[in-house]
Amino acid sequence: MAEQLATGSRRGLRPALPLLLPAYLWLTVAIFLPLSAMVFFSFMTDLPLAGKEWSFTLGNYAAFFSQSLYLTLLLASLRLGLEVTLWCVVIGYPAAYVLAKVLKGRSREAIFLLVILPFWSNGLVRIFSWAMVLREGGILDITLNAVLPFKINIDLMYSYPAVIIGLVHSYVPYMVLTCYLTLQAIDDSLIEAGRSLGASRLQMLKRVIIPLSMPGLIAGAALIFVPVVGSFMEPRILGGRTGTFYGTVIEDQFVAVFNWPLGAALSFILLAVVLVILALAAPVLRRAG
Amino acid sequence: MRMPRLTAFLTATAVFVSAFTFAAQAAEEVHVLNWKGYGADEPWAVANFEKATGYKVVNDFFNSEQEMLTKLRTNPGLYDVVMINAAFNDQAMAGKLIQPIDTSKLSNYADIAKDKAGSPMLNHDGKVYGVPWVWGLTALAINEKSFDKPPTSIAEMWDPAHKGRVIIRDDAVEAVQFGAIASGQNINDIKDMGAVKAKLTSLMPQIKTFWSSENDWNQMVASNQIDIGTYWSGSADRAKTHFKLPVSLVIPQEGAVAWLDAFSIPAGSKNVAGAEAFINYMIDPKFYVEWVTKVGAPVSANTKAVEALPEDAFNRKVMGSPEVAKRIQFQAPVTDEQREKYLALWQELKVNVK
């Protein structure tokens, strides 16, 4: 039996190789090699360009711990990641539920399209359109003042809320998509059974729907949290003077001061912290699921 | 079946290869690296130059001096002309990023003001590494709609009336040097960093956002979101002349940072002759007068070019006046050590805003 299984899997692997090869070749060339170069850089004192002297050092990693600046920023970025993920759940999950369980046919397709639409537009275009909406004398300000009987002053531009709004807008489709897939897979008869056994709507949500759609929620949260923690474009453009985050400092190291070793070290510290958080969260979330 | 296909494949490859070599041979291109919207990429200027010389100009841009150095380091041989702030010339030369220039090939070089051409920042071991192009100030600019009468002091930036309507550039060196002027110090020899820090710390709550390109600044004024901020003299002129924005330059009584921009030829340039022709065209009085009239520009380093301006032109009357010359401080090279210190201070200030 064991032998049979072994040959079976071997037979299964060999024909599968040509199918796997392009993906792994691509991963090796496009991700693994540059990433290992970056690991290498992060232990160097300087880039070996134009005959500059360099040697190996742990100094770039030590820099993170020697100044409170980087830790403060990392915490701020983690908070940003949590808040954006939370808002994506609050906004995205109900939408996914309606898409999966309430709407059918044409109307579902139409709403789905609206959800996906932000994906098809360029990130910079999205951010600059937010800039037009959020600023003082912008679209939001003018519209609200035209409708409301009293005068209010809306100037959200260059503030922390603006960063949150921009990021939530960019990332909410991930949450809708992942939750939609798991919610759609829930058998309607389970919901009917629950109802017929006298469960209230809230009980149904808590005991049946959320647990069954947990994998989607977790996948969505991970997909959103990780890039948001390292984001730099949205904070820089929408955040103004409050827009300094861990991601913008890494960008500065690469673009503004040409300190690639420090930038690489900061990136890998971020990667490590994010991995630790995901690893710690995994068992808790799995139990919840 | 097999042979024709192979032949077809080989032919296709040959065509591709020859297309590539053709493209490489047609390298009568001059690749220019400069700030966006800073003279070298003016469509009329490019067209004039191309018509006169037959070279084709390819422009590329940077958003900070550090980005410019990064681009030179990571793309050796790509660029033929690069515009470098004289204070960074040292660093570019030490990194072997630029090569000496044969000024005998530049017919306009003799007309460049002697103090600029002879600047120790551009000359190393008797060789010229940079051709002075224009100079200007990092001073203040105001949104004319917010002022009845232009302010005269740098202290205006700290006036609570402008809270949340002040803008400064996201650049550690510029911010620190600005703080030095505000605290009455020499920008090239800052003795009291504590005073600079205190000045900038109290400025932070006044600030709306940081700018990094001319476009940022102009948009903020166009949408009436700022009153006052640090700006470059040439950019303020351009905002007024070209974009018709209510912007005017203020040279505060406390002083201003002066800079000198120069053209260099990157090491490994594939078209040195084209680069020389382009640089010579850039320092030509004809180009300069057209640039000032049509678009707005800083002050040319070419004395004949400035003399070609009308008597009352800002770049001739105000910028050329001895009274202004007394107030301004020319930027000297900043060492890596100083730059790191300034950056640490600047990052700390930005983080403490949170």
pLDDT tens-digit readout, A13-70? 778 888 888 998 998 888 889 899 999 999 998 877 655 678 899 999 998 998 888 9
Q: What is the pLDDT of residue B8?
A: 53
A244: CATH: 1.10.3720.10
Partner-chain contact B96 A50, CB within 8 Å: yes
Q: What CATH number labels B136-258+332-352?
A: 3.40.190.10
Please tell me the distance from the alpha carbon of residue B36 to that of residue B291, in angstroms, as a whole number.
Answer: 14
Q: Do A135 and B350 touch (CB under 8 A)?
A: no
Domain membership flag for residue A39: yes
Comparing A48-57, A219-228, B47-56, which segment has the lowest mean pLDDT?
Answer: A48-57
Kindly state whether residue A255 falls inside one of the protein's structural domains. yes
Residue at A1 is within a domain:
no
Residue A2 has pLDDT above 50, yes or no: no
Note the pLDDT of residue B19: 47
pLDDT in the model for residue B88: 92
A46 and A110 share one domain? no
Tell me the per-residue pLDDT of B136-150, one tens digit each, with 9 for 90 and over.
Answer: 999 999 999 999 999
Three-class secondary structure of residue A254 per DSSP = helix
Residues A32 and A139 in one domain: no
User: Are residues A230 and A160 both part of a single domain?
Assistant: yes
For B194-216, what is the mean pLDDT?
Answer: 93
Dihedral sign (CA A142, A146, A148, A153): positive
Q: Does B97 touch chain A (CB under 8 A)?
A: yes
pLDDT at A52: 64
Q: Which of A142, A236, A244 to mutate to test the interface with B (most CBs of B within 10 A)?
A: A244
Question: Where residue A93 falls among pLDDT bands split at 50, 70, 90?
Answer: very high
* Residue A163 sits in the same domain as residue A187: yes
Is the distance from CB of B331 to CB of B258 less than 8 angstroms? yes
- Hey, is the C-beta of B192 within 8 angstroms of any chain A C-beta? no
CB-based contact, B163 to chain A, within 8 Å? no
Please identify which residue in the block is written with the tokens 């990693």.
A61
Residues A240 and A99 in one domain: yes
* pLDDT the model gives residue A17: 85
Instruction: For residue range B175-200, list pLDDT tens digits in order.
Output: 999 999 999 999 999 999 999 999 99
A181 plus A268 within the same structural domain? yes
Q: Which helix (H) or strand (E) holds A153?
A: none
A53 shares a domain with A111: no
pLDDT digits (tens, 9 = 90+) for A125-179: 888 888 888 887 788 888 888 888 888 877 888 899 999 999 999 999 999 999 9
Give me the residue from A49, A73, A135 closest to B73, CB to CB. A49
* Token digits of residue A128: 């600059």
Q: For B69, which residue in chain A has the nearest alpha carbon?
A: A258
Numbered residues of chain A with Cβ closer than 8 Å to any chain B Cβ = 47, 49-52, 67, 69, 72-73, 76, 135-138, 157-158, 240-244, 249, 252, 255-258
For residues A23 and A89, membership in a common domain is answered with: no
Domain ranges of chain B: 27-135+260-320, 136-258+332-352
Phi-psi region of B226 (alpha: psi -120 to 50; beta: other; left: phi over 0): beta
Q: What is the CATH number of domain B27-135+260-320?
A: 3.40.190.10
Mean pLDDT of chain A: 87
Class of residue B36 by CB neighbours under 10 A (exposed 0-12, middle 13-18, buried 19+): middle
The residue that leads in pLDDT, B1 or A121, is: A121
- Mark yes or no for CB contact A158/B208 under 8 Å: yes
| A87/A46 same-domain check | no
Let me know if residue A5 belongs to a domain: no
Q: What is the DSSP letter of B124?
A: E
**Could you tell me which chain B residue has the CA closest to the CA of A49?**
B73
CA atoms within 13 A on the CB side of B97: 28
Residue B161 near chain A (CB below 8 Å): no
The least confident of A90-99, A108-117, A251-260, B315-324 is A251-260
Q: Which candidate, B297, B293, B154, places its Cα nearest to that of B238?
A: B297
| More reliable by pLDDT, B170 or A10 | B170
pLDDT digits (tens, 9 = 90+) for B284-333: 999 999 999 999 899 999 999 999 999 888 899 888 888 899 999 999 99
Do A266 and A134 fall into the same domain? Answer: yes
pLDDT surpasses 50 at B271: yes
| Residue of chain A with shortest Cα separation from B92 | A50
Decide if A117 is inside a domain: yes
Answer yes or no: is A3 within a domain: no
- On whether any CB of chain A is under 8 Å from the CB of B207, the answer is yes
Candidates B64, B339, B351; nearest CB to A69:
B351
What's the CA gap between B163 and B205, in Å, rounded?
Answer: 7
Does A3 score more than 50 pLDDT?
A: no
Give yes or no for B338 touching A (CB within 8 A): no
Supply the range of the domain harboring residue A45.
15-57
pLDDT higher than threshold 80 for residue B23: no
Q: How confident is the model at residue A81 (pLDDT cuts 50, 70, 90)?
A: very high
ipTM confidence score? 0.73
Domains B27-135+260-320 and B136-258+332-352 agree in fold: yes
Q: What's the angle, vertex CA B90, arms to CA B88 and CA B96, rounded to 5?
A: 110
B339 touches chain A (CB under 8 A): yes
Query: In terms of domains, do A94 and A39 share one?
Result: no
Asked if residue A199 lies in contact with residue A118, where contact means CB atoms within 8 angstroms, the answer is: no
Write out the DSSP string of B162-207.
GTT-EEEES-HHHHHHHHHHHTT--TTS---HHHHHHHHHHHGGGE
Specify whether the CB–CB gap between A125 and A170 falls below 8 A: no
Q: Are the beta carbons of B343 and A135 separated by less than 8 Å? A: no
Residues in a beta bridge with B320 = none
Contacts of A243 in chain B (CB under 8 A): 209
Q: How many domains does one find in chain A?
A: 2
Residue A264 and residue A202 in one domain: yes
Average pLDDT over all residues of chain B = 90
Nearest chain A Cα to B74, which residue?
A: A49
B58: pLDDT strictly greater than 70: yes
